[in-house]
Amino acid sequence: MRLGISSGSLDVLKRKYIKEDSPTTLYLMTLQKCLNNCAFCTQAKESHADALMLSRISWPPIEIEDLINLLKEYNPFKRLCFQVTNHLNWEKELINTIKLFEKFNLPISISAPFDNISHMEKFFELGVDRINISIDAVGKDLFKKIKNGDFEERLAFIKEASTKFPSQITSHIIVGLGENERELVYIIDNLSKWKVTVALFAYTPLNGTLLKNMNPPNYYKYRKIQLITFLLQKNLISFNELSFDGNDNLLITENILSIAEPFFEIIFKTTGCPNCNRPYYNESPRIVPYNFPRKLKDREIEEIKDLLRNGRERINL
């Protein structure tokens, strides 16, 4: 049986060494095309993208037996993540696959099309560490348009899952799909109260997808959302302390910046399950990362501070 492996993960296994921006999680993907049709996704039913792509990363197929042999020789990973498309029998297949990796004792994350708590329970009983239930597109109309789903239902399911499996739920959110910033951070505030870990992604235009002509978010918007997400997730601020302009765009005040100041080295690193760094999942290695997969350099921190100070309206609250 074969799985897709992210090209970065495969590179680590073949070269047998890690760089500062190598993946710290081993990323694997099922190879069957998805029955869902998310407008941004290369694996969507109607996408014309190369079937071995997920986001801008290629996932070459590998026999599970070969992968296991490579891992026995060299395993620097701190987590194993399965990206699972919605296809017939995915649950049964995944259970069998996970059992093959038990011997490596890695915490396992699954990102899969769960819609049933008792099905999730089976995976946690198997020893899975975390399950991602993606929101992706925040907002009732946006969720319908991009994912053809019911936003309120998805939120209610995440809330129920987070009550049943406290601190074991992750949720992917994509910034830049046209969401309202006030609503976005309001939802992130709710998720934080439910102890759901938010994994932020920057929208990435991809050939073959329905949204291929849409631009990625600007860095100012993305940095603002990263900063506020961090503070909400760490319970350092509440939604009521946030300020917005007349168009519901977030304003980063001096007060917010001073609360965030001690954490600037970590706020802009990749968020999500522990040790998930998703290198270059959203952008080319040649440009400034939206999510830093490695430690930030002092110069990068200063640039972000400048952007947050000067890219915003000057207010002192």
**Contact between 242 and 229 (Cβ < 8 Å):** no
**Phi, psi (rounded to 5 degrees) for 70:** -60, -40
Choose, by CB under 6 A, the member of 139, 176, 272, 293 that binds ligand SF4: 272
Q: How far apart are CA 24 and CA 72, in angstroms?
A: 17
Strands (DSSP E) contained in 214-298 are 243-244, 250-251
Q: Which stretch binds ligand SF4 (CB under 6 A): 145-153, 185-193, 202-210, 273-281?
A: 273-281
- The residue among 41, 40, 66, 63 whose CA lies nearest residue 51 is 41
Check residue 136 and report its DSSP letter.
Answer: B
- The residue among 193, 187, 129 whose CA lies nearest residue 163 is 193
User: Is 282 an interacting residue with respect to ligand SF4 (CB under 6 A)?
Assistant: no
Q: How far apart are CA 186 and CA 135, in angstroms?
A: 14
Q: Which stretch binds ligand SF4 (CB under 6 A): 6-14, 35-43, 48-56, 269-277?
A: 269-277
Which residue has the CB atom at the shortest distance from ligand SF4? 272
Q: Which stretch binds ligand SF4 (CB under 6 A): 3-11, 43-51, 236-244, 270-278?
A: 270-278
User: Is 170 an interacting residue with respect to ligand SF4 (CB under 6 A)?
Assistant: yes
The tokens describing 170, both together, are 């992750």
User: Is 109 an interacting residue with respect to ligand SF4 (CB under 6 A)?
Assistant: yes
Strand partners for 171? 198
User: Is 43 an interacting residue with respect to ligand SF4 (CB under 6 A)?
Assistant: no
C-beta closer to ligand SF4: residue 242 or 273: 273
Per-residue mark of binding to ligand SF4, 195-234 (x: CB under 6 A) = ----x-----------------------------------
User: Is 177 an interacting residue with respect to ligand SF4 (CB under 6 A)?
Assistant: no
User: Is 112 an interacting residue with respect to ligand SF4 (CB under 6 A)?
Assistant: no
Q: How far apart are CA 17 and CA 11, in angstroms?
A: 9
Grouping H, G, I as helix, E, B as strand and the rest as coil, residue 25 is strand
C-beta closer to ligand SF4: residue 81 or 242: 81
Provide the minimum distance between the beta carbon of 248 and ligand SF4 in the complex, in angstroms, as a whole number.
27
Q: How far apart are CA 64 and CA 82, in angstroms?
A: 13
Where on the chain is the footprint of ligand SF4 (CB under 6 A)? 25, 79, 81, 109, 111, 132, 170, 172, 199, 272-273, 276, 278
